[in-house]
Amino acid sequence: MAAGKQVKWHLLLLVFISSLLFSAFAISSEIKKTLAKTIKELNRKGPYLGLITVYAPEEDAFFASGAFKPNPKQPYVDLSGRRFRIGSIEGSKVIYVRCGVGLVNAAAATQQMLDVFHITGIVHFGIAGNANSSMSIGDVIIPKQFAQTGIWDWVKPNATIPTNDVAELDFGSYNMPSGGDNNLGSIGYSTEFFYSKSGKPNTPQRTIWFQTSQNWFELASSLEGMELEQCVNSSLCLPKKPKVVVGLNGATSNSFVDNAAYREFLYTTFHVSSLDMESAAIVMTSLSNGFNVIVIRGLSDLAGAQDGDNTILLFGPLAATNVAKAVIQFVKALRGFHFKQ
């Protein structure tokens, strides 16, 4: 090929690639403009109550209740791989999203919901492990406060736990048989750095407990005594009727707890009744931004205290159903509460 023709071919190729890139950019910009317009229109019709759950079985139970009515004109908005569903429950406008398992997913979805949509507050719900022997599978718990029990200082044997840690777990105490060395050493439970709009910039508070919103928490007491499901099906029922309990403590970490010894440690050390992987992040993010927040969790298993396999596969759907019922009841109560104000 002659040099002139080769240069001409390269120029044509560059022009073609440039046109493709320009077209892609134009399409992307148009999509962003359309999405921004849609969100602006939705927010103009707000505000909305934010509902956040974690994974598919909880979502299935929530939608199976039939209480959520999708917005016929704009049933959802897809953002960053998550589907934010627009609708209503008993006349209250809501936006629902499934955040995904773990602290990072929970915080990211909550922050995105608060940043993008016109939200009045967050109701987080899902299933949880039970750390309290006075509670039963199927019960619904509405904790007053949550600790993030996954921030550790893990030190070598015979080392000193930092003085600002709030608790210590010594692995050697669990040796079987007792005595002897344990190379795992021990861990100290550290506090969170909490940044909030009400605090000084770049000056976080150090705290272990994050409390749900007091006014919503007091309203939630009206759910105590409500009727909950006792049976998964005609052949699988719980030995006693589940109940709603308001006012205990919950713990969150990126660990699925199915170990009786660790369950007992968390209960005796932090006096927590529920164990999950998202709640503290959602509460912390909501409070950091100055929004009301409450958590409703259904107990699906005994977090390692049961004989044999974890019962989450058996009773997880029942716990999710009971949580969905409690959430719907709370949304109805909240609507009446707002009308009175």
Worst-scoring range by mean pLDDT, 32-41, 62-71, 125-134? 32-41
Please provide the average confidence, as pLDDT, over all residues in the chain: 91
3-class SS of residue 158: coil
Q: Kindly state the tokens that stand for 311.
A: 């019962």
CB atoms under 10 Å from CB of 32, counted, come to 10
Which ranges in the chain belong to alpha helices (H)?
3-44, 56-64, 103-116, 214-220, 260-270, 279-288, 312-340
Mean pLDDT of 88-97: 96
pLDDT digits (tens, 9 = 90+) for 109-136: 999 999 999 999 999 999 999 999 999 9
CB atoms under 10 Å from CB of 33, counted, come to 10
The Cα–Cα gap between 73 and 93 comes to 14
Mean pLDDT of 147-152: 96
Of residues 73, 99, 100, the one with CA closest to residue 87? 73
pLDDT at site 293? 98
The Cα–Cα gap between 318 and 27 comes to 45
Q: Kindly state the tokens that stand for 35.
A: 């999405």
pLDDT digits (tens, 9 = 90+) for 156-201: 998 999 999 999 999 999 998 887 789 999 999 999 999 999 899 9
pLDDT digits (tens, 9 = 90+) for 222-276: 999 999 999 999 899 999 999 999 999 999 999 999 999 999 999 999 999 999 9
Q: Is the pLDDT higher at 141 or at 1?
A: 141
pLDDT at 74 over 80: yes
Of residues 177, 138, 150, the one with CA closest to residue 262? 150
CB atoms under 10 Å from CB of 269, counted, come to 16
Top CATH class of 48-151+191-340 equals alpha beta
